[in-house]
Amino acid sequence: MPCYAIDGVIPVVDPTAFVHPSAVLIGDVRIGPACYVGPHASLRGDFGTIVLERGANVQDNCVMHGFPGRPTVVEENGHIGHGAILHSCVVRRDALVGMNAVVMDDAEIGAEAIVAAMSFVRAGMRVAPRTLVAGTPAKLLRTVTDDELAWKKEGTEAYHDLARRCLATHVETQPLTEVEPDRPALRAPGVLPLVATRKTS
């Protein structure tokens, strides 16, 4: 992975975390155990500290950055969807920030809360624990249901498994020219969109 020191400060990655080779880590970045950092994510600790606590995942094309003295933190089992941007904010334990959402300076996403995809969480906003916010700017919709919380936790566990799978089997290779007849199927139990879980419950 492209990994850069700045002012003598070197990123730290726990050996049980998986950081995709195309992700970029700069400066004061601290990635804890069992984390997953996806392709082309940018974690820039060149002004402020970037922290991923145990089991957090930051998916492809996400950006984490912040101001000096205002760390950008994703707590334990935090789940950051594709293309999201976090800037000098805190995402508490078991919270989810949806795809292409933006969370601004000094905002706090409470434990087990969900920020819907494409939402804009304004600077200084406090999202209460286990609530759902959506929109631009983000507004409170309701409490997160038991089914939604279970779905979120299953999705995060799938990323824990993905980190382990990547550490064990992820290798750069050349593409085949055609599909082989005995091609293995990928197995990702529990990886379902929320709409699918609603239809079965």
101 within some domain: yes
Please report the pLDDT score of residue 191 as a whole number. 72
Whether residue 84 lies inside any domain: the answer is yes
The reported pLDDT for the residue numbered 195 is 60
Total domains in the chain come to 1
Q: Is 188 a domain residue?
A: no
What is the span of the domain harbouring residue 24? 3-143
Is the Cβ–Cβ distance between 131 and 145 less than 8 Å? no
C-alpha atoms less than 13 angstroms from C-alpha of 113 in its C-beta half-sphere: 26
Q: For position 124, which CATH number holds?
A: 2.160.10.10
Q: For 3-37, write each residue's pLDDT tens digit.
A: 999 999 999 999 999 999 999 999 999 999 999 99
Separation of CA 56 from chain center:
6
What does each of the 201 residues of the chain score in pLDDT, given as a tens digit? 799 999 999 999 999 999 999 999 999 999 999 999 999 999 999 999 999 999 999 999 999 999 999 999 999 999 999 999 999 999 999 999 999 999 999 999 999 999 999 999 999 999 999 999 999 999 999 999 999 999 999 999 999 999 999 999 999 999 999 999 999 888 776 676 666 655 544
| Alpha carbons 27 and 10: distance in angstroms, whole number | 5
Q: What is the pTM of this model?
A: 0.93
Instruction: Please tell me whether residue 157 adopts helix, strand or coil conformation.
Output: helix
